[in-house]
Amino acid sequence: MSHTLRNARLSDGRTVDIGVAGGLIEAVSDHDPSRTGGDDLAGWLVLPAMAEPH
């Protein structure tokens, strides 16, 4: 099953759509306002997890 997070803002200021499948990011593409479905993040900032992987 895949899911799309639309209209997400990255730390560099770009607005993107993020495709997620199986709990992993599978695609990041420029935001396309004509896309529907998924969740609209309304420009919210998306950051990597603040966790130490060790």
Distance CA 41, CA 7 (A): 5
CA distance 2 to 4: 7
Please report the pLDDT score of residue 49 as a whole number: 83
Give the distance from CA 27 to its chain's centroid: 8
pTM, entire model = 0.85
Report how far residue 54's alpha carbon sits from residue 34's, in angstroms, rounded to the nearest whole number.
41
Among residues 30, 22, 29, the alpha carbon closest in space to that of 2 is found at 22
Distance separating alpha carbons of residues 35 and 29, to the nearest angstrom:
12
Residue-level pLDDT, tens digit, the chain, 54 residues: 689 999 999 999 999 999 999 999 999 999 999 998 999 999 999 998 888 777
